[in-house]
Structure 1
Amino acid sequence: MKKNIIFVITLALHLFAVKGNAQKENSPKVILITLDGLRWQELYTGADSLLVANKTYVHDTTKLKTDFWRPKAKDRREVLMPFFWKKITAMGQLHGNRNAGSKVDLTNNMWFSYPGYNEILTGVADDKNINSNKKINNPNKTVLEITNNLPGYKGKVAAFGSWDVFPYIINEDRSGVPVNAGFEAVTGNDLSQREMFLNQLQDQVPSPWSSVRLDAFTHHYAVEHMKKNHPDLVYIAYGETDDFAHDGDYEAYLRAAHNTDNMIKELWEFTQQDTYYKDNTVFIISTDHGRGTDPLDTWKSHGTKIKNAGQVWIVAFGKGITALGEVKNTEQLYSNQIAATVAAVMGNEYSVENAGKPIKTIIKSKK
């Protein structure tokens, strides 16, 4: 009789464990992506008529107009970011076209990178402690750190960034989240041939900037990590759009946006071919801040003194996301809602005090 009881208890525990693993295995994976400082104006209306032929900001105006100028905004945005406007719009949600009555804003008052990333990743603006781009460890816990410390997620969260401040924004030492950013090489005893080649190539290809590497390295390091380790939550922070804008190079800014669109397409196609991610992955994409528009020269800049630099955008698509396309005349959204939305998509609570609430149209899709 005792043997039978022991057997039943053991079987029950086993089935419970299997059920728990199955639920975890089937829970949605999230790829959170940011494009540093990409204006909503380019995303929703394409190349700017006042900039695309302006020789102050463009080296070859004829070629740039051939590549990215079209008379209609709908055609301009599609040629600039074809994956967004040919694919995502048919399977996801695009928020932040202010011309269509959709507004997304920052809640921090700094309107530059570290405060913007802190707000996106933690769900709370912290103007008191996060008021510069200095390399200081973030005192706030990000959704990456919180997820990484949940049962079953240890080692299943990873971050990749082009800017070398991300290890501090994510507080790599405290959080335990591996962050490959700046000019870091990937390390380990099981490097793939592609990772070893990327390490070698990164040393041989100079970046235009001292603190930001080219996005192709960030992208391919992330993809290789996903192939090997299958993290459930991945954060990828592309940076070229912001840095080319600061350089006043509108041509490079547009081409960086176009290239990033293609890299996001590659990521989506990879997830739909990999059995771990296929039909079970949600992409959430945004930006850390906007840029100026008036006076014209302020397109290069952002920050509190730059009018409308707190205007941003949010895009979501993937498993269970209702295809609303370009959202119009909707409720006001904020960047501080992204962290809670990521957690909710994964089926986790997000109890950070004062954090923004999950975005209803995205979470509603999941129910």
Structure 2
Amino acid sequence: MHKPILFILFTILCVNSITAQHKTENVFLIMTDGLRWQEIFRGADSALINDVVFTPSPEDVKPQFWKETTQQRREVLFPFLWTTIGKQGQLYGNRHYGNKVNVKNPFWFSYPGYSETLTGFVDTRINSNDKVLNPNQTVLEFINQQKGFTGKVAAYTTWDVFPFIINESRSRIPVNSGYEQATGQLSVQEELLNDMQKQVPSPWGTTRLDWMTYYLAKEYIKKNKPRVFFLSFDETDDYAHAGKYDTYLKTAHMVDGFIGDLWNFVQSQPQYKDKTTFIITTDHGRGDEPKALWKDHGDKVVHADQIWMAVIGPDTPNQGEMKVEGQYYQNQIAKTLAAFLGITYTNTQPVGEIISPASKAK
């Protein structure tokens, strides 16, 4: 056989091999603020669901969220996480098995946690939740600069600090946050949601309700087909700070439903079906001892640095709950996200390494 023909065949085999190994073309990073790993892996906490200080009417909540076993409790609270990701993806952070996920930053609250997640490193200058532009480039901004991704990265969030965390003005990534209206050529649903945002009150001031964020985000995804999408919810943290454990559970269950609905939607779309990876996590943990500290977080609250993570997609082995000992950190998410897309992410500071068990693509 002639050498040119051999070379062509070798090239085709190499390309096919790479394609077979790497299937993810789109990544969705989804976060919900301050949702504890304890509820993710154990379901409703008996010490809190039975305490009228935090659950004024246990008899109204327990029929839905209280079951005999830990496995049953977590499945009724997070049906998508456990019936879909638990069978087709991976869940990290059950410390009962020595599988640990922690934040690296020393502050254990929101802006530092989101910045660490999105940049891949800790910047101790980020030490408040103030609306200060992030001086650091995020992985979203980095990917937006890569060929084939420019204009295909977007974010929808409940908390109105994200335009500063992502540095919308510099990164040129559209970040719809707070009570920001949908813009452009609007669908009927977007027009309705815009009107509802003006009329439906939120108890959180400038932070809108999570269901508004979700349905606005879904309309954006339908219309614009982003390749990288950041979606962030906030009410799990809001209700925890308010000490309302019953509503915290209901909100966590609602967010699980949103994520499941979005997964089902992307699997119905040719651009996304079997080509999309979801990474799901939180910005910080919460206290647990004494039990009243479940409301709080920050560097003075023991265990508030403990978090969790879930991954599902075509390149992620279906190992379900990770029961092997391991230590992972929030700063590893950025590089892992980029790696799913075949992109090597770097920044001005060293970033956390790829979470290697999460992907079978090399």
Instruction: Say yes or no: does 1:84 pair with 2:81.
Output: yes
Separation in 1 of the partners of 2:256 and 2:280? 11
Instruction: Say yes or no: does 1:256 pair with 2:258.
Output: no
Separation in 1 of the partners of 2:271 and 2:281? 24
Aligned match of 1:141: 137
Aligned match of 1:93: 90
1:36-81 CA-partner distances (Å, limit 9, x unpaired)? 0000000000000100011111132101111111121111000101
Aligned match of 1:285: 280
| Residue 348 of structure 1, CA deviation | 0.5
Separation in 1 of the partners of 2:60 and 2:209? 23
Aligned match of 1:302: 297
Aligned match of 2:153: 157
SS across alignment from 2:30: strand
SS across alignment from 1:202: helix
Aligned match of 1:43: 40
SS across alignment from 2:46: coil
Structure 1 contact 103–333 (Cα < 8 Å) conserved: yes
SS across alignment from 1:236: strand
SS across alignment from 2:326: coil
| Residue 126 of structure 1, CA deviation | 1.0
Separation in 1 of the partners of 2:209 and 2:224? 23
1:201 to 191, 196, 202: 196
Separation in 1 of the partners of 2:123 and 2:24? 31
Separation in 2 of the partners of 1:117 and 1:95? 18
Aligned match of 2:171: 175
SS across alignment from 1:332: strand
Aligned match of 1:320: 315
Structure 2 contact 24–315 (Cα < 8 Å) conserved: no
TM-score (norm 2): 0.92
Structure 1 contact 28–319 (Cα < 8 Å) conserved: no
Matching residue's letter, 1:201 = M
1:179-225 CA-partner distances (Å, limit 9, x unpaired)? 0011111111x111111110001111111111321111111111111
SS across alignment from 2:75: helix
Aligned match of 1:10: none
| Residue 178 of structure 1, CA deviation | 0.2
Aligned match of 2:239: 244
Separation in 1 of the partners of 2:302 and 2:24? 41
Separation in 1 of the partners of 2:251 and 2:287? 18
Aligned match of 1:116: 113
Matching residue's letter, 2:132 = I
* CA-based RMSD: 1.6
1:52 to 49, 52, 56: 49
Spell out structure 1 runs of 4+ moving beyond 6 A: none
Aligned match of 1:3: none
| Residue 317 of structure 1, CA deviation | 0.3
Structure 2 contact 97–325 (Cα < 8 Å) conserved: no
Unpaired runs of 5+ residues, structure 1, are: 1-18
Matching residue's letter, 2:219 = E
Separation in 1 of the partners of 2:30 and 2:145? 21
Instruction: Say yes or no: does 1:346 pair with 2:354.
Output: no
Structure 2 contact 100–328 (Cα < 8 Å) conserved: yes
Instruction: Say yes or no: does 1:230 pair with 2:231.
Output: no
Separation in 1 of the partners of 2:69 and 2:47? 14
Aligned match of 2:12: none
Separation in 2 of the partners of 1:357 and 1:165? 27
Separation in 2 of the partners of 1:329 and 1:319? 22
Unpaired runs of 5+ residues, structure 2, are: 1-15
Instruction: Say yes or no: does 1:63 pair with 2:83.
Output: no
| Residue 330 of structure 1, CA deviation | 2.8
1:1-40 CA-partner distances (Å, limit 9, x unpaired)? xxxxxxxxxxxxxxxxxx9xx99xx752000000100000
Instruction: Map residues 269-280 of structure 1 onto 2, 5 A cutoff.
Output: 269-280=264-275
Separation in 1 of the partners of 2:24 and 2:321? 27
1:58-105 CA-partner distances (Å, limit 9, x unpaired)? 132101111111121111000101111111111000000001211000
Structure 2 contact 92–99 (Cα < 8 Å) conserved: yes
Separation in 1 of the partners of 2:101 and 2:183? 38
Structure 1 contact 161–238 (Cα < 8 Å) conserved: yes
| Residue 329 of structure 1, CA deviation | 2.3
Matching residue's letter, 2:138 = T
Separation in 1 of the partners of 2:248 and 2:26? 30
Q: How many residues align?
A: 343
Aligned match of 1:356: 352
Instruction: Map residues 181-196 of structure 1 onto 2, 5 A cutoff.
Output: 181-188=177-184, 190-196=185-191
Separation in 1 of the partners of 2:153 and 2:249? 31
Structure 2 contact 24–313 (Cα < 8 Å) conserved: no
SS across alignment from 2:279: strand
Instruction: Say yes or no: does 1:31 pair with 2:28.
Output: yes
TM-score (norm 1): 0.91
